[in-house]
Structure 1
Amino acid sequence: MRTLVFDLDGTLADTSADLIAAANHCFCALGHGDLLDSRADALTAFHGGRAMLRLGFSRLDVPWSEDDVDAQYPRLLQAYADDIDRHTRLYPGAERAVETLHTLGIATAICTNKPEALAEDLLRRLGVRALFASLVGADTMTTRKPDPAPYLAAVARAGGTAARSALLGDTETDARTARVCGVPLALVTFGPEGRGVERFAPDALLDHFDALPDLAQRLLPEA
């Protein structure tokens, strides 16, 4: 079974505004107001909750430490869970493209560094959970991307094999994951970095989901 594994945040769906809002909820509760901007800081949002907290704290003219980040992280997760899909949308053409992959005999899976329960909830709310045969999140296993284990588990749980799989992502973490797993890599160009992701030397770039079926056929040719 040919399998295409998707990253979630910044690849399948634009989650940045809701992630930034959750981080700002923490800063507002501390009396600092909104320290992050949903547009300017979108790239940091796609690197996770702790990255957003570090960026916000770095903008304060007061000392802070990783203890402050650790203290706020559970609060960020709860704020995010409470309002996970206010602004989040699938990227244009994503749902149709995944459905087309299935008609081509290509299984689809999710491998994300978002906590599994949050990823499951978000995909259900977006109405696309049933389109993916497996989902492996940040806490599904004892390691997360770019460790190869989560990616390999996502492929296996979708009924595929690593030798006939490829990864679609948007960050250096995805590039490192594909490299360590020895699988083809495509990176999207509609995220905050645009075509800046070319520096990670992917096998292909995806400018719009309408082009995904043809791209997948090139990365995963039939035996």
Structure 2
Amino acid sequence: MLPATEVKAVVFELDGTLVNTAEDVRFAAEEMLADLKLPSLNVDHVSDWLGDGLDKLIHRILSRKIDGLVPDPVFRLGSALFLKAYQRRNHVSAELYPGVEECLRQLTKDKVPMMVVTNQATSLANDLLIHLGIRNHFTQVLGKDALQEPKPSPDGLLEAALLLHIKPDQIMMVGGSVNDVNAARAAGCGAVCVSYGYNYGVDIQYSAPDAIFDSLAEFPAYLKDEKPRAVKPRSRRNKTATPPAKERR
């Protein structure tokens, strides 16, 4: 893994790193459950279930379990209802986290190539980035459907390296979950994380990224001089930095 000062490109996670989409997801989840005549969900759990793509999210919401599965007919109906509600919502509550615009503007000014690799569908990810006015900062967006395997597989980062004509270890992964860190380690990339990401309710420090930022506004300076960062523990429900058993590769 190269020092941060030798990084040639940056790959970002989308949800929970650049954009807060949790409120729109909660809205769509509640509408789906109402259409299915199922009890309302405790919305506090939803953000802990994000990060593994739409299919797993639907299974989790319908089963009320992070590793839950529902019968295929139920999943298919629920998925259609959720997507319809989510698209009708039109990202009304989606917002960039503080410091994101500043970070992207500075990296663009510094001519650092940037891509997005997400477990969300490519079309939905592009639509969200366009809606928030930041799609122009990224050379390409790779969603779950564009890859053989989603994160924590390294496929997205390896594909990004091929498209950018650089070596994988010249990429810095910027995310917010253990899946992002594991994907980066498997690809041989550096990995830094935001402190506020969607990570199953677990503090990201237990995933041991190279650095943790409370705001991405700090990140461009990190690439230039690799300042060491002190990481303070945060109190969370769990301390095990592993995804659910059925998510692990």
Further displaced range: 18-27 or 149-158: 149-158
Question: Would the aligned equivalents of 1:145 and 1:151 in 2 still touch at CA under 8 Å?
Answer: no
From 197, 201, 219, the equivalent of 1:212 is 219
Matched residue of 2:209: which SS?
Answer: coil
What is the CA–CA distance in structure 2 between the aligned matches of 1:76 and 1:15, rounded to whole Å? Answer: 14
- Give the aligned residue type for 1:119: A
**Cα gap change, 1:32 to 1:9, in 2 (>3 Å):** same
Matched residue of 1:106: which SS?
Answer: coil
What is the CA–CA distance in structure 2 between the aligned matches of 1:156 and 1:132, rounded to whole Å? Answer: 16
- Give the aligned residue type for 2:212: L
> Aligned pair 1:31/2:46, yes or no?
no
What is the CA–CA distance in structure 1 between the aligned matches of 2:51 and 2:168, rounded to whole Å? Answer: 25
Q: CA RMSD in A?
A: 2.4
Q: Which residue of 1 aligns with 2:11?
A: 5
Question: Would the aligned equivalents of 2:53 and 2:144 in 1 still touch at CA under 8 Å?
Answer: no
From 73, 87, 92, the equivalent of 1:81 is 87
Q: Which residue of 1 aligns with 2:127?
A: 121
What is the CA–CA distance in structure 2 between the aligned matches of 1:102 and 1:93, rounded to whole Å? Answer: 14
**Cα gap change, 1:12 to 1:188, in 2 (>3 Å):** same
From 21, 44, 49, the equivalent of 1:44 is 49
The answer for unaligned runs of 5 or more in structure 1 is: none
Further displaced range: 64-73 or 84-93: 64-73
What is the CA–CA distance in structure 2 between the aligned matches of 1:95 and 1:13, rounded to whole Å? Answer: 11
Question: Would the aligned equivalents of 2:9 and 2:171 in 1 still touch at CA under 8 Å?
Answer: yes
- In the TM superposition, residue 192 of structure 1 has moved relative to its aligned partner by 5.1
- In the TM superposition, residue 152 of structure 1 has moved relative to its aligned partner by 2.0
- Give the aligned residue type for 1:65: V
Matched residue of 1:173: which SS?
Answer: helix
What is the CA–CA distance in structure 1 between the aligned matches of 2:61 and 2:155, rounded to whole Å? Answer: 31
From 138, 143, 148, the equivalent of 2:144 is 138
From 152, 158, 174, the equivalent of 1:168 is 174
Per-residue CA distance 1:107-145 (angstroms, 9 max, x = gap)? 111000000000011100001100111110010133222
Q: Which residue of 2 aligns with 1:58?
A: 63
Matched residue of 2:150: which SS?
Answer: coil
Give the percent of matched residue pairs that are identical in Structure 1 and Structure 2.
27
- In the TM superposition, residue 205 of structure 1 has moved relative to its aligned partner by 0.6
- In the TM superposition, residue 33 of structure 1 has moved relative to its aligned partner by 4.6
- In the TM superposition, residue 71 of structure 1 has moved relative to its aligned partner by 3.4
**Cα gap change, 1:135 to 1:177, in 2 (>3 Å):** same
Question: Would the aligned equivalents of 1:189 and 1:195 in 2 still touch at CA under 8 Å?
Answer: no
Q: Which residue of 2 aligns with 1:14?
A: 20
Per the normalisation by structure 1, the TM-score is 0.86
Further displaced range: 50-59 or 108-117: 50-59
**Cα gap change, 1:204 to 1:75, in 2 (>3 Å):** same
What is the CA–CA distance in structure 2 between the aligned matches of 1:171 and 1:192, rounded to whole Å? Answer: 6
The answer for unaligned runs of 5 or more in structure 2 is: 1-6, 227-249
What is the CA–CA distance in structure 1 between the aligned matches of 2:172 and 2:217, rounded to whole Å? Answer: 18
Number of residues paired by the alignment? 215
- Give the aligned residue type for 1:26: M
